[in-house]
Amino acid sequence: MALQQVIAGIDNENQIRLECEITGLYKATSYGAIVDTGFSGGLVLPQVIAVDIGLETVGAGNVTLADGSIRTLPMYMCKVKIGDVIQETDTLVMGNDVLIGMNVIDQFTLIVNGPKGQVSVEGAESAAGIRNALIQNPHDRLVNTLKKLTGR
């Protein structure tokens, strides 16, 4: 699916960044957010940005942090626009960077050209189809079964 041009690339710390517009209760602002495929949620915002744009509090949830510890943290909602795709997504407030996680990225196809430092972003019209195809793969079926058994 053709997507309005999205500015994306690899920064000098080897992180993939893409331009997004984040809309809170008070205002909208654009950021070059880091794509964090290790983050299963939607969005992470630093406190200073969260206060600036205003976030809607929706409650709390358990969050597994990178060190493996689990904490119950406040959860918020805001809108994120990438290209011409607008999503309302779950949001955490922590750290110093704007992170975009898999709950947002799973709507898109990202193609990374490492040697050229280029990243292209497309709408993922067939994301569900790809996921279903992966589930049919015997290895993924095994992994999914193990996940169900272990709960991890």
Partner 1 sequence: MIKALSQDLISQAKEIYERLKPTIEKKNWGEYIAIDPISKEYFIAPKLADAMRTARDKYPDRQFFSERIGFKSAVSFSYSHLHLT
By CB under 8 A, what part of segment 75-94 binds partner 1? 75, 77, 87-90, 92
- Cα separation, 97 vs 66, whole angstroms: 15
Indicate the angle between helix axes 127-136 and 138-150, nearest 10 degrees: 90
Q: Does 34 bind partner 1 (CB under 8 A)?
A: no
Number of residues that bind partner 1 (CB under 8 A): 36
| Interaction between residue 115 and partner 1 (CB under 8 A) | no
Of 136 and 150, which CB lies nearer to partner 1 in the complex structure?
Answer: 150
- Report the alpha-carbon distance of residue 51 to residue 30 in Å, rounded: 15
* Position 105 contacts partner 1 (CB under 8 A): no
Q: How far is the CB of 97 from partner 1 (least distance, A)?
A: 12
Rounded least distance, CB 55 to partner 1, Å: 12
Element of type H or E holding 127: helix 127-136
Report the SS3 class of residue 138: helix
Question: Which run of H or of E encompasses 86?
Answer: strand 85-93
Among 15, 23, 29, 103, binds partner 1 (CB under 8 A): 103
Q: Which positions from 36 to 75 touch partner 1 by CB under 8 A, shown as an x/- string?
A: x-xxxxx--------------xxxxxxxxxx-x-x-x--x
Q: Write the DSSP string, 91-139.
A: EEE-SSS-EE-HHHHTTEEEEEETTTTEEEEEE-TTHHHHHHHHHHSHH
Per CB under 8 A, residues contacting partner 1 are 36, 38-42, 57-66, 68, 70, 72, 75, 77, 87-90, 92, 101-103, 143, 146-148, 150-152
